[in-house]
């Protein structure tokens, strides 16, 4: 069995399962945020009206809450949604509610690893499609909608179809101008945005072994854009030391069997891979950054669960140090803890002196919510994950998805730029 | 389960994503009637005026890709859409449609997409997994729902679903 099959077998109390099986599995952790949470709470209150008993939920200690999409409260409706969440977590005794302006908070998929909210071998589901991110810790992590989360909050389990696994072996020697974002954009460009629909995408190979956790998280994060049910990387020494800096909790890592069956095996040798950009309006619409170097841009956005982790900000700072941005540039660290580190380690002053505006941790303009949404015909290079029509603002705005290094280099030149091409 | 009839709104486009079905700024809204006013706004702002109760949509593959927002099937269902026929669906949209009992995501063969036209009248027979095009006197196969999914559909959503294991 693959790691995904073994985790789901464990969670369904079976010794053996295989891709295609449909059944109920026990959930270890569940999360909802200020967009999915009020929707879930609405489903629950409708069920209560129909006679369901809701004096308590399944397990308050396995439920956690993030405020991330429309925070700091973008308007009255957003503020009300945050109040709905706060009243609900108080009523049901949920202790892990990360509130903005009250210590650690940030984008849910960043907190899940920064705060070690999820551990290797666990089944983690959450009310957000980029839940796949957390699979980099060696967990089964998948996104669900309101009704499914509501069901889990009452029953602690959910039905799932065991996915087939596509294995991506990433090998070779990584040039220093290349980031995980270039690799995953290239993969999505090659296989297409629905190639992994209903499937798991697993990453291995020497490049993945050598990658830091922050970089691994970019790979799994973007599996959502290939339609994957989950992205996953087998836990190893990198996982262990990453988690040991963040938690004392014990866990039982699960690895796939050596005779595991994969639906596809694809090898990527990345020595000659170019810094890669996804053009409007699909994460699969890729080009080499150098092929787009004459495209003038209006703005650079460095944010989101995909592209505002600490190492993403470090990559941006290396390029912006001693330089000025030529177009409007925003940096929004993905969590308060990352923001603090960026201040302590001098990144924040590099950004400010380069002319960048630093925003608070939030999903912000990545999902077109607030904090820098795009105008009609505005062209943006962004470290985020989607560039669908209207995703970041006006339906006729244009977003080019790129690595933090390409984004920073583009900010310096005012045009789409390969990091090798800035003087 | 029996059969349902509806009139087609066709969008022969693949990868119709949830940002198009219900754009991000409306995610803070949880009132279905309010969401319905903005359904498909990113692709066809006139859509809410075109739809009548019981209508179907026929669309390209990977319908509903992108975010997990349940706002998407809620908005379409509130307008009156009872079924969406497409060669494939993004998995979270599919689950949300089924588990919330909002509408039926029906998988069709790729070649069927070219045979159905805007405003055609269809009848979907869930017992025989068959689609009849009443306008053109043709029929097509639909992919049957997996066993568990069919039971949830029959129950009317996950909240109404019970099985022996669940009863414990």
Question: Is residue A248's pLDDT more than 60?
Answer: yes
B166 contacts chain A (CB < 8 A): yes
Over residues A189-211, mean pLDDT: 97
Report pLDDT for A96.
98
Residues in chain A: 423
- Name chain A contacts of B43, Cβ cutoff 8 Å: 389
Over residues B34-42, mean pLDDT: 96
- Name chain A contacts of B99, Cβ cutoff 8 Å: 145, 147-148, 151
Greatest alpha-carbon span in chain B: 49
CATH of domain B3-167: 3.20.19.10
The alpha-carbon gap from B69 to the nearest alpha carbon of chain A, in Å, equals: 6
**A291 and A316 Cβ atoms separated by less than 8 Å:** no
Report pLDDT for B164.
45
A369 contacts chain B (CB < 8 A): yes
* ipTM here: 0.94
The beta-carbon neighbor of A47 closest among B28, B147, B159 is B159
Summarised one tens digit per residue, pLDDT across range A354-408 is 999 999 999 999 999 999 999 999 999 999 999 999 999 999 999 999 999 999 9
- Alpha-carbon distance A245 to A107, whole Å? 20
For testing contact with chain B, the best of A33, A124, A194 (most B CBs within 10 A): A194
Please say whether the dihedral angle defined by the alpha carbons of residues B92, B73, A98 and A64, taken in this order, is positive or negative.
negative
pLDDT band at B51 (very low <50, low <70, confident <90, very high): very high
Summarised one tens digit per residue, pLDDT across range A293-328 is 999 999 999 999 999 999 999 999 999 999 999 999
Over residues A415-419, mean pLDDT: 98
Over residues B138-157, mean pLDDT: 95
What tokens does A412 get?
């310096």
Report pLDDT for B168.
37
Query: To the nearest whole percent, how much of chain A has pLDDT over 70?
Result: 100
Summarised one tens digit per residue, pLDDT across range B58-94 is 999 999 999 999 999 999 999 999 999 999 999 999 9
Read off the pTM: 0.96
- Name chain A contacts of B24, Cβ cutoff 8 Å: 367-369, 390-391
Mean predicted lDDT score pLDDT of chain A: 97
Report pLDDT for B15.
95
- Alpha-carbon distance B148 to A309, whole Å? 40
- Name chain A contacts of B157, Cβ cutoff 8 Å: 147
Report pLDDT for B163.
61
Domains of chain A: 3-249+258-267 (3.30.499.10), 278-421 (3.30.499.10)
| CA-based nearest residue in chain A for residue B148 | A22
Report pLDDT for B1.
61
What tokens does A34 get?
């200020």
Contact A145 B92 (CB under 8 A): yes
A253 contacts chain B (CB < 8 A): no
Crossing angle, helix A404-413 and helix A310-320, to 10 degrees? 30
Mean predicted lDDT score pLDDT of chain B: 94
What tokens does B147 get?
């066993």
As a dihedral over the C-alpha atoms of residue A21, residue A23, residue A26, residue A30, rounded to 10 degrees, the angle is 90
Q: What is the CA radius of gyration of chain B?
A: 15
Report pLDDT for A423.
76
B22 contacts chain A (CB < 8 A): no
What tokens does A170 get?
């990433």
Over residues A232-259, mean pLDDT: 97
Question: Is residue A349's pLDDT more than 90?
Answer: yes
Report pLDDT for B162.
77
**A369 and A70 Cβ atoms separated by less than 8 Å:** yes
Q: What is the 3-state secondary structure (H, E, C) of chain A?
A: CCHHHHHHHHHCCCCCCCCCCEEEEECCEEEEECCHHHHHHHHHHHHHHCCCCCCCCCCHHHEEEECCCCCCCCCHHHHHHHHHHHHHHHHHCCCCEECCCCCCCECHHHHHHHCCCCCCCCEEEECCHHHHHHHHHCCEEEECCHHHHHHHHHHCEEEEECCCEEEEEEECCCCCCCCHHHHHHHHHHHHCCCCCECCEEEEECHHHHHCCHHHHHHHHHHHHHHCECEEECCCCHHHHHHHHCCCCCCCCCCCCCCCCCCCEEEEEECCCCCCEEECCCCCCCEEEHHHHCCCECCEEEECHHHHCCHHHHHHHHHHHCCCCCCCEEEECCCEHHHHHHHHHCCHHHHHHHHCCEECCCCCHHHHCCCCCCECCCCEEEECCCCCCCCCCECCCCEEEECCHHHHHHHHHHCECCCHHHCC
Summarised one tens digit per residue, pLDDT across range B105-128 is 999 999 999 999 999 999 999 999
B13 contacts chain A (CB < 8 A): no
A78 contacts chain B (CB < 8 A): yes
Over residues A119-145, mean pLDDT: 98
Summarised one tens digit per residue, pLDDT across range A35-73 is 999 999 999 999 999 888 899 999 999 999 999 999 999
Kindly list the domain boundaries of chain B, sorted by start residue. 3-167
**A230 and A132 Cβ atoms separated by less than 8 Å:** yes
- Alpha-carbon distance A405 to A396, whole Å? 26
A271-A277-A280 Cα angle (round to 5)? 155
- The torsion angles phi and psi of A406, rounded to 5 degrees, stand at -65, -40
- Alpha-carbon distance B92 to B89, whole Å? 8
For testing contact with chain A, the best of B39, B67, B146 (most A CBs within 10 A): B67
B25 contacts chain A (CB < 8 A): yes
| CA-based nearest residue in chain B for residue A34 | B28
- Alpha-carbon distance B38 to B47, whole Å? 9
- Name the residue among A265, A275, A277, A330 with its Cα closest to residue A301: A330
Q: Which helix (H) or strand (E) holds B47?
A: helix B47-50
- Name chain B contacts of A36, Cβ cutoff 8 Å: 68-70
- DSSP 3-state of B158: helix
């Amino acid at each position: 069995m693959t790691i995904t099959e073994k985790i789901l077998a464990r969670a369904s109390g079976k010794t053996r399962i295989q891709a295609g099986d449909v059944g109920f599995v026990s959930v270890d952790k569940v999360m909802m945020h200020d967009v999915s949470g009020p929707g879930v709470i609405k489903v629950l209150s409708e069920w209560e009206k129909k006679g369901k008993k809701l004096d308590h939920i399944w397990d308050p200690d396995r439920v956690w809450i993030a405020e991330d999409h429309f925070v700091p409260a973008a308007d009255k409706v957003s503020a009300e949604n945050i109040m709905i969440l706060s009243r609900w977590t108080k009523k049901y005794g949920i202790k892990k509610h990360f509130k903005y302006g009250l210590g650690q908070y940030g984008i849910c998929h960043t907190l899940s690893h920064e705060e070690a909210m999820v551990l290797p071998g666990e089944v983690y589901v959450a009310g957000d499609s980029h839940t796949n991110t957390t699979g980099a810790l060696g967990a089964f992590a998948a996104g669900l909608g309101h009704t499914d989360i509501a069901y889990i909050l009452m029953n602690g389990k959910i039905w799932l179809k065991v996915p087939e696994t596509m294995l991506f072996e990433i090998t070779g020697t990584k040039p220093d101008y290349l980031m995980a974002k270039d690799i995953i954009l290239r993969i999505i460009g090659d296989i297409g945005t629905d190639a992994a629909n209903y499937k798991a995408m697993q990453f291995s190979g020497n490049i993945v072994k050598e990658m830091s956790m922050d970089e691994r998280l970019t790979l799994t994060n973007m599996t959502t854009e290939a339609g994957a049910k989950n992205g996953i990387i087998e836990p190893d020494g990198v996982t262990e030391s990453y988690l040991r800096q963040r938690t004392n909790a014990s866990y039982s890592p699960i690895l796939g069997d050596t005779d595991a069956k994969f639906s596809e095996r694809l090898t990527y040798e990345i020595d000659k891979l170019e810094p890669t950009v996804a053009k409007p309006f699909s994460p699969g619409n890729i080009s080499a950054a150098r092929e787009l170097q004459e495209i003038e841009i209006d703005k650079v956005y460095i944010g989101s669960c995909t592209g505002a982790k600490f190492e993403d900000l470090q990559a941006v700072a290396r390029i912006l140090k001693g330089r000025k941005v030529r177009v409007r540039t925003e940096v929004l660290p993905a969590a308060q803890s990352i923001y603090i580190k960026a201040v302590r380690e001098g990144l924040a002053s590099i950004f400010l002196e380069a002319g960048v505006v630093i925003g608070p941790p939030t999903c912000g303009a990545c999902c077109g919510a607030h904090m820098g949404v795009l105008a009609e015909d505005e062209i943006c290079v962004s470290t985020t994950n989607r560039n669908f029509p209207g995703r970041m603002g006006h339906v006729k705005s244009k977003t080019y998805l790129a690595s933090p290094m390409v984004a920073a280099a583009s900010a310096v030149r005012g045009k789409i730029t390969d990091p090798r091409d800035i003087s | 389960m029996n059969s349902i009839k509806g009139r087609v709104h066709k969008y022969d486009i693949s990868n119709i994503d949830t940002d198009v079905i219900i754009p991000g700024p409306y995610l803070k809204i949880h009132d279905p009637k309010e969401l319905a006013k903005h359904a498909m706004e990113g692709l066809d702002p006139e859509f809410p005026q075109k739809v009548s109760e019981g209508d179907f949509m026929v669309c390209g593959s990977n319908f509903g890709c992108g975010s997990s927002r349940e706002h998407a099937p809620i908005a379409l269902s509130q307008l009156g859409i009872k079924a969406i026929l497409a060669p494939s669906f993004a998995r979270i949209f599919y689950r949300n449609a089924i588990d919330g009992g909002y509408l039926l995501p029906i998988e069709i063969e790729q070649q069927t997409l070219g045979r159905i036209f805007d405003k055609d009248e269809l009848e979907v027979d869930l017992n025989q997994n068959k689609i009849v095009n009443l306008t053109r006197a043709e029929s097509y196969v639909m992919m049957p729902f997996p066993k568990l999914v069919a039971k949830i559909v029959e129950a009317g959503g996950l909240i109404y679903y019970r099985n022996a294991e669940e009863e414990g």
